[in-house]
Amino acid sequence: IKMASDLRFAVSCSSNMNRSMEAHAMLAKKGFIVSSFGTGDKVKLPGPGPDKPNCYEFGTSYEFIYKDLVDKDKSLYTQNGLLHMIDRNRRIKGDPERFQDSDDKFDIIITAEEKVYDQVLEHFESLVPQENSPVHIINIDIQDNHEEATIGAFMICELALLLSSTDDLDNDIDELLHEFESKCQRNILHCVQFY
């Protein structure tokens, strides 16, 4: 049986920029083993207009993205909070990572929106399980803005503490999620996949 603190968490949103990084920062501060990812094709950030997003390949360093946005329009990206967010990100890790490109294994993967949850499931369905070790995939819908990302990170942290409190995660998880769902008033999706 794994000790609670040995549980390996992953948090994922679309671009590994806002929601997953806010949760990554908070879980890491609390001493959890945590990684964060995006599941999109590209890292997309708001641009000067709705039809002009800033797009980067996964693996482009937060450092590069920060400098690129400063060069493009420092006052715009300071005002809308992007530079502050990316500054935080670069202090946590080097670059946004794409979930589908990672070989790491986790006990619990928490996604921040249903589309991301579906992309994670699609990825698992494309794999042939090798070692039959279960991974719990859980979705909590979190809107992609700074305020919601902060609230979402608190919820994810609370959920991580709850899931870490049991000696038998596989047996207790449904009950724990049900309890959490009624407490936080958010609809939770959950399924089990295998590595």
- Domains, the chain, in order of start with CATH, read 8-40+98-194 (3.40.50.2300), 43-92 (no CATH)
pLDDT tens digits for range 39-66: 999 999 999 999 999 999 999 999 999 9
d(CA 170, CA 108): 11
pLDDT of residue 140 exceeding 80: yes
pLDDT of residue 68: 98
CA–CA gap between residue 22 and residue 15 (Å, rounded): 12
Q: Give the per-residue pLDDT at 23.
A: 98
pLDDT at residue 3 in the model: 46
What rounded mean pLDDT belongs to the chain?
95
Residue 183 tokens read as 């407490």
Phi-psi region of 69 (alpha: psi -120 to 50; beta: other; left: phi over 0): alpha
Distance from C-alpha of 68 to C-alpha of 65, rounded to nearest angstrom:
5
Helix (H, G, I), strand (E, B) or coil at 28: helix
Alpha-carbon gap, residue 192 to 195, rounded angstroms: 10
User: What's the confidence (pLDDT) of residue 2?
Assistant: 46
Q: 35 near 9, Cβ under 8 Å?
A: yes
Helix (H, G, I), strand (E, B) or coil at 133: coil
The number of C-alpha atoms within 13 Å of 159 and in the hemisphere containing its C-beta is 34
Give the residue among 14, 34, 15 at the shortest CA–CA distance from 23. Answer: 34
- How confident is the model at residue 119, as a pLDDT? 98
Question: What global pTM score does this model have?
Answer: 0.96
